[in-house]
Amino acid sequence: MNGKQSYSRRFFLKTSGALAVLAAIPASVKALYNEAKNFIVPPKQTFPLPVSINKKMYKVTVDTRTTLLDLLREDLHLTGTKKGCDHGQCGACTVHVDGERVLSCLTLAAMLPGKEVTTIEGLADGEKLHPMQQAFIECDGFQCGYCTPGQIMSAVACVKEGHTSSVAEIKEFMSGNLCRCGAYNGIVESIQKVAK
């Protein structure tokens, strides 16, 4: 960390905590605190991150606040992973970390050293599409295509997890991936096809 800031995070947390305790203190003291707080704008901190994405090693300098999603989209231009809500509510940003499905918008880049990240760009074997990608094409498992990379990453995991015994089970385990076009027919059909 190259922290050059004059006020540490710990100082800030301690001061904030103290304020809660001092809620009964006269208004003038509070005002003083508020004034002091105005100067507390912690500067950006960065750190060097080695991370393996789609079996390729990247060494990047990353803002501590950067999520895996923004790292992929904004810094590495791997824009296949989509931002649909940035709050873990839609599944559009689903990637695999060490083979498990993970929401990249809720994963800080700082959590990645030593992990293997697979995104939609890393799913195909060169020109040869992954069977799930192929199935989504054949079953028309999308319309606008924006939730599709997340759907496919979840679908691959759904099959691997073995949650494909019925339409109802597939639907249940794919319900973390929203599709506003409502292309659920084709999504379920694709998964059924690959799971067979």
Partner 1 sequence: MRLFNTKKPVAARAEGRVEAVAKVTGSGKYAAEYEVKNVCYGVLAVSAVAAGSIKSIDLSKAKQVEGVLDIITHEHKPLVPGMADEAKIKETRFGLPIFHTDKIYFRGQPIALVIADTLENATYAASLIDAEYNTEKANVDFESTHPGVKLSSAGKEKGTLDAWSGAAHIVEAEYNVQAEVHNPMEMHATIAHWTADDKLVLYDKNQGVNNVQRVFARLFNIPPQNIEVSSEFVGGGFGSGLRVWPHALASVMAAKQVKRPVKVVLTRPQMFSLTGYRPAAWQKVKLGADNNGKFVGILHQSKNNTSKYETFSEGITRITRMVYNFDNLKTEQATVPLHLSTPTWMRGPGDCTGAFALECAIDELSHKMQVDPLELRMKNLAVTTDPESGKPWSTNFVNECVEKGAAMINWKERKQVPGTLTDGEWKIGYGMGIGMWGAGRGNASAGISMQKDGTITVKTAMTDIGTGTGTAIQNITHSSTGVAKNKIKIELGHSDFPATGSQGGSTGLSSISGAVSAVCDALKQKLATYALVQKEVYKNAALPDILLSETGVSYKTNNNEFVSYADIWKKNNLTTVDVEASSGPGEERQKYAFCSSAVHFCRVKVNIKTGKVKIDRMVSVADGGRIVNEKPAANQISGAVVGGIGMALMEEQLADKNLGNLVGNDLAGYHFAVNADAPVIEVAFINKTDPNINPSGAKGLGEVGIIGSAAAIANAIFNATGKRLRDLPITPDKVLA
Q: Give the HSE-up count for residue 108: Cα atoms under 13 Å, Cβ half-sphere.
A: 8
CB under 8 Å to 3, separation ≥6 — which residues?
45
33 burial type by CB count under 10 A (0-12 exposed, 13-18 middle, 19+ buried): middle
Using CB under 8 A, which of 51, 94, 149, 164 touches partner 1?
Answer: 149
Does residue 81 contact residue 96 with C-beta atoms inside 8 Å?
A: no
Binding mask 104-143 for partner 1 (x = CB under 8 A): ---------------xxx-xx----x---xx-xxxxx-xx
Q: Which is nearer to partner 1, 63 or 116 (CB)?
A: 63
Q: Which is nearer to partner 1, 24 or 49 (CB)?
A: 49
- Between CA 7 and CA 10, with CA 8 as vertex, the angle to 5 degrees is 130
Using CB under 8 A, which of 79, 106, 110, 160 touches partner 1?
Answer: 79
Using CB under 8 A, which of 24, 41, 55, 128 touches partner 1?
Answer: 41
β-strands 100-103, 94-97 pairing: antiparallel
Q: Tell whether residue 83 is a contact of partner 1 (CB under 8 A).
A: yes
Q: Which is nearer to partner 1, 51 or 67 (CB)?
A: 67
Smallest distance from partner 1 to CB 31, Å: 15
Q: Tell whether residue 164 is a contact of partner 1 (CB under 8 A).
A: no
Smallest distance from partner 1 to CB 167, Å: 5
**Distance between CA atoms of residues 195 and 159, nearest Å:** 6
Smallest distance from partner 1 to CB 10, Å: 19
Q: Six-digit token pair at 79?
A: 């824009």
Smallest distance from partner 1 to CB 24, Å: 25
Q: Six-digit token pair at 25?
A: 């203190």
Q: Tell whether residue 25 is a contact of partner 1 (CB under 8 A).
A: no
Q: Which is nearer to partner 1, 18 or 167 (CB)?
A: 167
Q: Six-digit token pair at 54?
A: 């789609």
